[in-house]
Amino acid sequence: MNSILLHNVLLNGIPSDILVSEGRFSRIAGAGKISPESAAEVLDATGKAIIPALYNTHNHAAMTLMRGFADDMVLQKWLSDYVWPFEDKLTPADIHKGSEIAVEEMISSGSVFFSDMYFDIEQTIDVVEKRGMRAAIGITVMENHSLAVEAEKLDFIEHWSDPTGGRIQLVMAPHSVYTVGPEKLRRTAEYARNRGMRIHTHISETALEVQNCLKETGMTPVRYLDSLGFLGPDVIAAHCVHVDEEEWDILAERGVTVSHCPASNMKISSGRFPYELAIKSGCRITLGTDGASSNNNLDLREGMKLAALLAKCVSAGPDRSLSNIGNPELLPAEEVFRWATRNGAEAFGIDGGEIAEGRVADALLIDLSDVRMRPCHNLISNFVYSADSRCIAATICDGKIITDLCR
């Protein structure tokens, strides 16, 4: 029997017993109310609180290989002078190693899922399968990929079946409007929809991307993609930094999910995410780290804190009036926590993001004795603003503890 009893764990401040079986929370009751005999294994979780695990909706996992390799420069120079020449030399074994580093880092910092966009995807799939995580693995589509490469990808999709029985999904990942032409964007979206696959792309990351799209198509990226019939509830759009009010309404109407990547946007000076417009639109917003080459870590908990702080911060500039100093009420801890948990799970059709009977058992055990968690007036506030990875005693994915209870 695949089951574990979490004994005396704090759930919403209440000492509880939680029975996890076949990957789901099967029963939740007061501490001492569930018989230890009902589970194959009993874990004494005294002094630990349980919260939902994190879902990282935008990543290029194997780019951990470029962590610290080329920092502090503009996007175009970074890509053309450093990233692309480096990637030209990568072997499948390198991708495997980069994915291993990424997965270990994500698990230790509380993520149970990542949405990836890279190449040699068999390598990343192998790591995810072995380490017990979840992932949406993107089939990257670029305009310059040859017909042979395209055929190879289609062949892979047609013959692939999930070796984990539900933890891994394939998604189509047309890179962006500046690397994929209109016909291929349209065909990729159609192909994905015919197979019930999600679509993962970058949209309006930089002002330059928007300017070039306007020059070439007469439209901004969101309007252009909408004119192609590309946008829909199966689309996960990374960044969306340079998106105006009307475009936010289009994204919301089409049911697009946005993956906000605060660390990457700040590091490459892409711009400040328009929190006010995004929240007002009602669009589903999730969080991503982006690759470690532009972050430089894959710690989504840190991403929550950065997003919440950046939301509250507006540059006063020469105008010192009180109306221009930001809004501390914007994006409170509970809301950004929901972006990183339930919103991320929902966007990828995962029944997680909540500790409740019947839900998939993706969760974190938080060590309440860690100095960063004390005192604990508000658990989520502490986790968003004060904690770091050392406060995470265990990461649970699909009902299994994939880190050790080491503290």
> At residue 328, what are phi and psi to the nearest 5 degrees?
-65, -15
Q: How far is the CB of 23 from Zn ion (least distance, A)?
A: 30
Stretch 253-292 residues interacting with Zn ion (CB under 5 A):
290
Q: What character string, x for contact with Zn ion (CB under 5 A) and - otherwise, covers 75-114?
A: ----------------------------------------
Nearer to Zn ion, 26 or 264 (CB): 264
DSSP code, position 342: I
Using DSSP, state whether 344 is helix, strand or coil.
Answer: helix
Nearer to Zn ion, 70 or 325 (CB): 70
- In the block, tokens 């919301």 appear at 252
DSSP 284-338: EEEE----GGGTS---HHHHHHHHHHHHH----TT---GGGS--TTSS-HHHHHH
The answer to whether 58 touches 238, Cβ cutoff 8 Å, is: yes
Nearer to Zn ion, 21 or 59 (CB): 59
Nearer to Zn ion, 42 or 258 (CB): 258
Q: How far is the CB of 238 from Zn ion (least distance, A)?
A: 5
Task: Annotate 234-256 with b (16+ C-beta within 10 A) or e (fewer).
Answer: bbbbbbbbbbeeebbbbbbebeb
Nearer to Zn ion, 6 or 203 (CB): 203
Q: What character string, x for contact with Zn ion (CB under 5 A) and - otherwise, covers 286-305?
A: ----x---------------
Q: How far is the CB of 59 from Zn ion (least distance, A)?
A: 8
Using DSSP, state whether 45 is helix, strand or coil.
Answer: coil
Quick one: the chain helix, strand, coil %, rounded to 5? 40, 25, 35
Q: How far is the CB of 95 from Zn ion (least distance, A)?
A: 16
Nearer to Zn ion, 60 or 254 (CB): 60
Q: How far is the CB of 60 from Zn ion (least distance, A)?
A: 6
Q: What character string, x for contact with Zn ion (CB under 5 A) and - otherwise, covers 136-165?
A: ------------------------------
Q: How far is the CB of 290 from Zn ion (least distance, A)?
A: 5
Q: How far is the CB of 251 from Zn ion (least distance, A)?
A: 18
> At residue 107, what are phi and psi to the nearest 5 degrees?
-60, -45
Q: Which of 189, 267, 271 is nearest to 235 (CA)?
A: 189
Task: Annotate 196-227 with b (16+ C-beta within 10 A) or e (fewer).
Answer: ebbbbbbbbbbeebbeebeeebebbbbbbbbe
Nearer to Zn ion, 105 or 290 (CB): 290
- Residue 394 CB neighbour total at 10 angstroms: 23
Residue count at the site for Zn ion (CB under 5 A)? 1
Nearer to Zn ion, 263 or 345 (CB): 263
Q: Which residue is nearest to Zn ion (CB)?
A: 290
Q: How far is the CB of 173 from Zn ion (least distance, A)?
A: 10
Binding site for Zn ion (CB under 5 A): 290
